[in-house]
Structure 1
Amino acid sequence: MTALRSFAPCGWGATGLALGAGLGLVVALPLMTDVAKAFETKADHALLINLGTNTVLFDKAADVSMTPSSMSKLMTAYMVFDRLKQGSLSLDDTFTVSENAWRKGGAASGGSTMFLEPGSTVRVEDLLRGIIIQSGNDACIVVAENLAGDEASFADAMNRRAQELGLTGSHFMNATGLPDPQHYMTAHDLAILAEHIIRDFPEYYRFYGETEFTYNGITQHNRNPLLYKNMGADGLKTGHTSVAGYGLTASAKEGDRRVVMVINGLKSTKERSEEAERLMAWAFRNFEDVNLLKAGEPISNAEVWLGEDDTVPLVSAKDLVVSLPRAARRDMVVRVVYDGPLAAPINAGDPLATLVIEGPDMQRLEYPLVAGKKVEELSLLGRVMASIKNAIFGMAQEALPEDLNKASQAAPEPSK
């Protein structure tokens, strides 16, 4: 049975709500708007995600494998953060710099370096800053050798942990991100990894917002261009090789909103800086977070069959905040869809319906709704009486059109 009602959620103004049958429960979908489709970027790969609502704002080849360059050092740092959180490592512990780390990643290598001296000992905290701020290849190799014995074993450990984190499009061959045909990531995986670092290690994430670090008398500046743009950026990591071009995994916060951005395949540091600023500004300017529902707040009622109550309230199991295009909000339509009537018994929290949000310049969003309370099944006598009642009224409704037709034929002509 389909019912139609007007609905005005949480100060949005009037919107339409249709309660209908025909759809089962659908999990929440990421938002991909026509606004985003019309937006262009020079990057070969790009992804922007509103972190609080887990909403994709922009996607360009985000699930296509790419060379991540030094952005894969996010995984190297993650492995250290994980050990610190477990308590098997401390920031004050010291690691020894091997000849191998110095030759492959030191000043003589010609790549990004922390300028570590072979045979010296370095605090873990300094190594982390060397990896994050200075992008030191030598620091990465020192960490790998001291935690796993050698860089290959460390890469194996990175791969195992990556699978546990859901990084299904990633494979690591080293701790540095130096080019290797079997060393790759996707923009999507980099965004997932950035989210884990931000949420799982807030006490260490602060390193990513530091703009400079001095070690061995040499000061180097953070290459993340957004840290210098006064737009709420506080991390994460740049990357560059001749194979991959210039890339950046970044995050910025504006009020309660946090956006994670991954771009790669740009032609210069200037182009990377300009595209990063443009995309991040676009994300904050064109979208807003809307508090749609509070957990447990009834949004509508669904009809119940053979229950002690005729209806059950439909609620969201958690506070529902959605990211929406600013231009679409005024003309949005909200619908609740469920297969009904719903058979009793129903337990509180049972998934029953789907909240559907649609509007111009956006694909529809779908979120699950659950039972707001328990509805017991009628007793045997109650079920029998309900079935009899339904049969009587059902027959009456089926006969009604024919009865009306007969009545109209028997009615006298109106006087003229």
Structure 2
Amino acid sequence: MSLFLFLSIAQRMRFSAFCLGLAIVCGVGSGHADTLSSSAPIAYLSEVETNTVLFSKSPVTPFQPGALAKIMTAASVFRALESGTVQETTLCPVSVHAWRTGGAPAGGATMFAELNSNIAISDLLQGLLIQQANDAAIVLAECLDGDEAAFARRMNEDAEDIGLENSLFANPTGYAAQEAQTTASDLARLARYILETFPDRYTLFSSPEFTWNGIFQRNRNPLIGEIRGLDGFGAGRSDTDGYAAVASIERDGRRIIAVVANLPSESAREKALDDLVDGAWEYFGVRTLFDRGDTVAMARVFGGTAGEVPLVASGPIEVLLPRGETLGYRLRVTYDGPLTAPVTPGLRAGELLVLGETGIVYRAPLETGGPAIEKGTLVTRALDGLVELLFGWI
């Protein structure tokens, strides 16, 4: 595998290395018959194990989440349970506001929580995620923070901590609010966070049924049973931005996360999601770019007995890439440098980025290889300093 490596200064003391023309990755075809596309105006597809972005279309275009806001509501409750702020057995009162706004009188999705009753958080979570119950969402918000506005602040603080960069949640239900917005990439990140951090609670999303207050209801996610392997997350709609969905699908040992939005109907949403999901298995396969310990690039060293140190793969670098050769990909290595001697092996010192047509599709950590580079003599360090002063590090 041959690399054409160039180092250039992005900022003082920061470097980027580019790998162009990697034959095993970069395609030369010009046709598009074998490439993945989507009818959805907004679409995002990623693979969980390798954290590879397989498809991205308008990933940061904002849209109103509708009922998809309940995924963030669930994440905030999961985090509160994890921190010990509340327990599954904590009883939450059903207020007049929760009953009237989200319960049976409202005519929407409800778990039929009885006014002035007390419900355990474990049962409210089932109502929230199996029945998409608005009363459950409001009761949980009031139980944790007193009212919906305070809980919305919790949601946004949690969203920022998780890494959602372009989302703002206005309430726990997803009821229409002009300021509420999210993006496909944020929802995919949120989905991945729940899968990785709360795998035991994730099963709630696919529980088939739930009975409360003597009323039996099946799982209200319209996509479960319609798309093979889909076992979690949900669907939403807003008057301004149409139909959207977040889905997690596992087939043949591979799990992917898919997001579609801005669709005109339920049927269009299902078809767009189904086509996108099928593409993960039809068009992509795992390719090993580097094995553990392989040298990926060389990093400059300041003031050492050697001027360069190898940056090596800290583990196998396996990426889902198109089976054909119609998509162009590039590799980029970034690191903060030059590294200052002494430099020992195993130091986390850089990152390999795989770039597709829409941006970064994969990233992997790099570490310094051996042997160790000791601090150089006073003369060596003085010469390195002079070179940097006169020419910068190139």
- Please give the TM-score of this superposition, normalised by the length of structure 2: 0.78
CA distance in 2, matches of 1:346, 1:132: 50
Structure 2 residues not aligned, in runs of 5+: 10-14, 20-24, 385-394
Residue identity opposite 1:232 in structure 2: G
* Change over 3 Å in CA distance of 1:118–1:307 after alignment to 2: closer
Shift of 1:25: 3.4
The reply on whether 1:231 has 2:222 as its aligned counterpart is no
The reply on whether 1:135 has 2:135 as its aligned counterpart is no
The answer as to whether partners of 2:334 and 2:350 remain within 8 angstroms in 1 is yes
* Change over 3 Å in CA distance of 1:186–1:298 after alignment to 2: closer
Task: Pick one of 372, 375, 379 that aligns with 2:373.
Answer: 375
The reply on whether 1:275 has 2:266 as its aligned counterpart is no
Task: Pick one of 71, 74, 91 that aligns with 1:74.
Answer: 71
CA distance in 2, matches of 1:214, 1:95: 18
Residue identity opposite 1:42 in structure 2: S
The answer as to whether partners of 2:7 and 2:17 remain within 8 angstroms in 1 is no
Normalized per residue, the structure richer in helix is: 1
The reply on whether 1:105 has 2:105 as its aligned counterpart is no
* Change over 3 Å in CA distance of 1:154–1:311 after alignment to 2: closer
* Change over 3 Å in CA distance of 1:350–1:63 after alignment to 2: same
Task: Pick one of 199, 204, 207 that aligns with 1:207.
Answer: 204
* Change over 3 Å in CA distance of 1:174–1:315 after alignment to 2: same
Task: Pick one of 232, 237, 241 that aligns with 2:238.
Answer: 241
CA distance in 2, matches of 1:337, 1:148: 42
Q: How many aligned positions are there?
A: 369
Shift of 1:302: 7.8
CA distance in 1, matches of 2:239, 2:46: 27
CA distance in 2, matches of 1:162, 1:32: 36
CA distance in 2, matches of 1:106, 1:154: 19
Structure label with greater radius of gyration:
1
Percent identity, aligned pairs only, is 37
CA distance in 1, matches of 2:59, 2:333: 32
* Change over 3 Å in CA distance of 1:328–1:173 after alignment to 2: same
Shift of 1:363: 8.9
Any residues of structure 2 matched to 1:341-360 within 5 Å, and which?
A: 346-349=343-346
1:392-414: CA deviation from partner (whole Å, max 9, x where unpaired): xxxxxxxxxxxxxxxxxxxxxxx
* Change over 3 Å in CA distance of 1:344–1:237 after alignment to 2: same
* Change over 3 Å in CA distance of 1:322–1:141 after alignment to 2: same
* Change over 3 Å in CA distance of 1:27–1:76 after alignment to 2: farther
Task: Pick one of 156, 161, 165 that aligns with 2:158.
Answer: 161
The answer as to whether partners of 2:94 and 2:115 remain within 8 angstroms in 1 is yes
Any residues of structure 2 matched to 1:50-61 within 5 Å, and which?
A: 50-61=47-58
More deviation, 33-42/144-153: 33-42
Task: Pick one of 252, 255, 259 that aligns with 1:258.
Answer: 255
Alignment RMSD (CA, Å) = 4.1
Q: Report the equivalent of 1:404.
A: none
* Change over 3 Å in CA distance of 1:179–1:289 after alignment to 2: same
Any residues of structure 2 matched to 1:367-406 within 5 Å, and which?
A: 369-373=366-370, 374-377=372-375
Structure 1 residues not aligned, in runs of 5+: 1-6, 8-15, 388-416
